[in-house]
Amino acid sequence: MSRFPVYSHEKSRAWFDRALKVIPSGVYGHLGPSEGLFLPIENWPLISSRAEGTYFWDMDGNRYLDFMCAYGPNVLGYNDPDVDAAALEQLRRGNCTTAPSYKMVECAELLVDTVASADWAFFMKNGTDATTFSVMLARAHTRKKKIFFLRGYYHGNDQWAMKADYPGILPEEVANNVIVPWFDLEAMERAYDEAKGDVAALIAQPYDHGNFYDNRCASKEYWAQVRKFCDEKGMLLIIDDVRTGFRLDLAGSDHYYGFKADLICFCKALANGYNMSAVCGREAYRATASSLSFTGSYWMSAEPFAACIACIEKMKKLDTPRLFREKGTRLTDGLVAAAKEYGFDLRVSGEPALFYLRIADDDSLMLHQEWVAECVARGLFLTSHHNHFLNAAVTDEDIRLAVDIAADAFSVVRERHPKD
């Protein structure tokens, strides 16, 4: 018998139906039912009314303990008082102005001081902007065409970062993309030879955190080899730290894995939900960065810079990477134990700060989807296909609640699928 009541979503659904009339897909992208894999949709909150700390509430007033953190931006807790105060104060002083605010300079200085490989910072709005800028820079700097990607990659939504079989993408737009497997330097060497050395960069996430499969952490040795390879070939090493940035190491995930990226892209955890992204780079690439034609109407708005400064300072104060490792480990240990109690083999992979879950009892993920749906229906927001995120507002009590709801959901799924 379930101990946690199953939520209903009449009002959220009504709002979603309104959205469908005026917005393609209602909610498009990863926050929506299609890419977000709301299976079945009835179990999911579709539209929220408010958020605080590690919780958000839907339009029906249901509360969700949220381990997706808006897919990353919520790093300190929703509505963090320090970050919000800094942002609001900056709004009063000026936001989108003809001469950019001094906050931009302060923010760049802070990033250069914080990120180990950074000699400069360049600002934009989204992760895609950051990766696109980096790839342009690599091509401009090396005068070479091809870009290496590691299999299972995701580097945003611009055409160059997608695949030829995606709607609206021309084969020509991705003709210079070369996909190589993770953890295979020989394959990279072969691909380089096949490309006749016409390779500008490798763009990679710090470890293999793709969707639908167990995530694979990298090693310092692997990255040392990759760094050496790029140096020998004259390729730039671009680290896409959009998802992982500041959750593994405040000095950058390259620092965490013991190497220096040439360019490193940040976005999600940069400003606790305020809209900005950044590329940090090494001195050798400063002049090329200056030469690029790359800007946007809101890219130098001051409010997010103020939020970013407050966010980074607070992350330093709290030592959030340590916090996330500890909390992620405690939470996932609890989930695994709850699964075991009901006879399920729950696998945890990836870094604890961005843990990926999978029930391994079947290889179709159907059982896993069922369990996730029962968790969400009871107020524990997880996803079935993507890594999760921690934020600094998660308390021990939240972890206990998460494990309790998870156990309850396991009991429901077990009742539906009794063991032979």
Partner 1 sequence: MKEPVAMAYVNLYGVLGCIPQLCRLDEDCRHILSGLKKPVALCFEVKGGPCRTFRFTREGCEITEGDEGCNAKMRFFSPEKFNAFIDGGAPGMPVKHPVRTIVFLLKVFAKLAERLTYYLRPTPEQLSDRAFFEKNTLLTLYTAAGAISALANTDSISRISAGNTPDGEISVGIRDTVSVTILVKDHVFATVDRVSAAPRAVMEFADIDLANGLFRGEVSTINELCKGRIRLAGMISMIDNVNRILDRVSVYLA
Distance CA 217, CA 208 (A): 6
Distance CA 54, CA 48 (A): 14
Distance CA 319, CA 307 (A): 18
149: contact with partner 1 by CB under 8 A = no
Q: Residue 135 CB, nearest distance to partner 1 (Å)?
A: 20
34, 219, 291, 295: which one binds partner 1 (CB under 8 A):
34
Q: Residue 288 CB, nearest distance to partner 1 (Å)?
A: 31
Specify the stretch interacting with partner 1 by CB under 8 A; choose among 23-31, 71-79, 289-297, 307-315.
Answer: 23-31
26: contact with partner 1 by CB under 8 A = yes
Q: Which two tokens stand for residue 4?
A: 């946690």
> What's the Cα-to-Cα distance from 29 to each of 131, 232, 245, 387, rounded to whole Å?
18, 39, 21, 16
Q: Which residue's CB is nearer to partner 1, number 26 or number 281?
A: 26
Q: Which residue's CB is nearer to partner 1, number 41 or number 112?
A: 41
Specify the stretch interacting with partner 1 by CB under 8 A; choose among 37-45, 82-90, 228-236, 274-282.
Answer: 37-45
204, 239, 276, 365: which one binds partner 1 (CB under 8 A):
365
Q: How far apart are the first and last CA of the chain?
A: 20
Q: Which two tokens stand for residue 124?
A: 């934009």
Q: Which residue's CB is nearer to partner 1, number 13 or number 227?
A: 13
144: contact with partner 1 by CB under 8 A = no
- Window 184-213: residues binding partner 1 (CB under 8 A): 211-212
39: contact with partner 1 by CB under 8 A = yes
Q: Residue 150 CB, nearest distance to partner 1 (Å)?
A: 14
**Total site size for partner 1, rule CB under 8 A:** 26
175: contact with partner 1 by CB under 8 A = no
369: contact with partner 1 by CB under 8 A = yes
377: contact with partner 1 by CB under 8 A = no
Beta-strand ranges (E) seen in 205-321 are 236-240, 263-266, 277-281
Degrees, nearest 5: CA angle 340-344-346 = 85
363, 397, 418, 419: which one binds partner 1 (CB under 8 A):
363
In sequence order, the 6+-apart residues with CB closer than 8 A to the CB of 158 are 128, 131, 132
Distance CA 307, CA 269 (A): 11
Q: Decide: 379 and 60 in contact? Cβ < 8 Å.
A: no
164: contact with partner 1 by CB under 8 A = yes
Specify the stretch interacting with partner 1 by CB under 8 A; choose among 60-68, 141-149, 162-170, 327-335.
Answer: 162-170
Torsion of CA 131, 155, 391, 105, to 10 degrees: 0
Closest by CA position to 130, among listed 243, 256, 260, 272: 243
Closest by CA position to 231, among listed 306, 142, 304: 142
29, 50, 109, 166: which one binds partner 1 (CB under 8 A):
166
Q: Which residue's CB is nearer to partner 1, number 24 or number 418?
A: 24
Q: Which residues bind partner 1 (CB under 8 A)?
A: 16, 20, 24-26, 33-34, 37, 39-42, 163-167, 171, 211-212, 363-366, 369, 385
